[in-house]
Structure 1
Amino acid sequence: MTHPANIPVDIKLHRKSRILELTYGDGSRFELSCEYLRVHSPSAEVRGHGEGQETLQTGKINVNLKELVPVGNYALKLVFDDGHDSGLYDWNYLRDLGENHDLHWQHYLDRLDQAGASRDPDLSVVKIMG
């Protein structure tokens, strides 16, 4: 069940800066990059169907949103310009992504580093062991 405080009162997509801005009735405001939203998609394609089945998203630094589609009174479907459109971002999840941005982002960066992967689709990471 969605807590009323988790429902944004204003949603703005800044295409040029690739930022989704969410404002809440309690005065909270979060600016979430399209890359951040894409790599944290709640879709089965990204999350898998259980613990340990996640697919690390790489090379998404330039991804943008093409469309925001309201789903009932409980979520947004985000349509990305890389073709990804299967994640439903419910209000509780969006609020969590805003409130816990730094934690989620650092976890993602750590996973990229462990995988020897990059946010940039034009960059290959090579680790020299010595």
Structure 2
Amino acid sequence: MNAPGEIRNKRGPGQLIVQWDDAEQVVSHIRLRGACPCSQCRAAKLRGGIQLVREDVRVERIEPQGYGVQLVFSDGHERGIYPWNYLRTL
């Protein structure tokens, strides 16, 4: 999958807006943090752990990684890289 044309971060309402070729996608920061694909978060989910995400969590920085994007969150979590295909499914 190709990279989106644009990614905008709206910290106030806590939304990431992703402009794909055929659609605009809006994903809440809470949803993104809860769906973190890093190995630490995946392992916790496999063990049956429930990850509670604070309602005030926000995306602080967006770091392009070529095949996806790394999101840095206000709670200090920054390990997850969201491949374009995965981001599109959220």
> Could you say whether these structures have the same fold, taking a TM-score greater than 0.5 normalized by the shorter chain as the test?
yes
What 5-or-longer segments of structure 1 have no aligned partner? 98-130
How far does residue 45 in structure 1 lie from its aligned partner after superposition?
1.8
Larger Cα-atom Rg: 1
Distance in 2 separating the partners of 1:54 and 1:14: 32
Counting matched residue pairs gives: 90
Helix, strand or coil at the partner of 2:79: coil
What 5-or-longer segments of structure 2 have no aligned partner? none
> 1:47–1:55: 8 Å Cα contact kept in structure 2?
no
Any residues of structure 2 matched to 1:67-86 within 5 Å, and which?
67-71=61-65, 73-86=66-79
TM-score, with structure 2 as normaliser: 0.90
Over the matched positions of the two proteins, sequence identity in percent amounts to: 31
Q: Which has the higher contact order (CA 8 A, sep 6+)?
A: 2
Any residues of structure 2 matched to 1:83-98 within 5 Å, and which?
83-97=76-90
Q: Residue 24 of structure 2 aligns with which residue?
A: 29
How far does residue 54 in structure 1 lie from its aligned partner after superposition?
5.1
TM-score, with structure 1 as normaliser: 0.64
Match of 1:45 among 40, 45, 57: 40
Distance in 1 separating the partners of 2:16 and 2:86: 14
